[in-house]
Amino acid sequence: MDIMTLLLFIPACFALNMSPGPNNLLAMSNAKRYGFQSACVAGAGRLIAFTGMIFLAATGLAVILHTSETVFMTVKVAGAGYLFWLAFRLWTADTSKADLTPQQDHKTRFQLMREEFILAAGNPKAILIFTAFLPQFVNPDGKTTLQFSQLGITFLLLEWIAIAIYALFGLYLRQWFANPQTRKIFNRSCGMLLAGAGVGLLTSRQS
């Protein structure tokens, strides 16, 4: 892969990584509640899901989501349902207790990682992004598998940087949450954003 392709790909890819979405919102919330390291470790669940999607896109199996309305709708409804469940938990969370220090005793890092994985895997639009975005930077006259692998690895590295940035943002928000009412507003705002993402996922079209 030539340097000019990478110079075009990296900024476009990073803009995609940094776009606000359910997983980035979750990373910010996890950092606020459980600490920076736990949020970054949890982000590995998202990267695992994305790795699988990149593999599917590279091998051409993603065409199933384009051609099978049943498969697309099943994944979409499941993903939206999980978003609504997370939104409900945030909306009804108890904010009466102090939440200024990491709370790793409430959830294990594996549980946080699983949440990130389910949230990423439950969005069929993600794999469609990989099938539409990454191939634009592949030269069909070259070794396409190698190029796709290089692009995929670069995407994942930039995604983890985005996870760390959102986690840092959430980490430094902790000082703002001494007031229970402030925590309630934040939780419910995040819940509304997650629910909105769920509605957007339900109303998204296959094509």
Residue-wise pLDDT for 3-44, tens only, equals 877 888 888 888 778 876 788 888 988 998 888 999 999 999
Give pLDDT, residue 55. Answer: 86
With beta carbons less than 8 A apart as the criterion, state whether 52 and 120 touch.
no
Instruction: Compute the chain's Rg from CA coordinates.
Output: 18
- How far is C-alpha 107 from the geometric centre of its chain's CA atoms? 19
- In terms of pLDDT, which residue wins out, 67 or 166? 166
Name the pTM for this structure. 0.70
- pLDDT tens-place string over residues 105-118: 578 889 999 999 99
Contacts for 106 with CB less than 8 Å, ≥ 6 apart: 33, 34
160 band by pLDDT with thresholds 50, 70 and 90: very high
What value does the mean pLDDT take over residues 80-94?
A: 78
Token code pair at residue 3 = 């340097």
Name the nearest CA neighbour of 127 among 86, 168, 79. 79
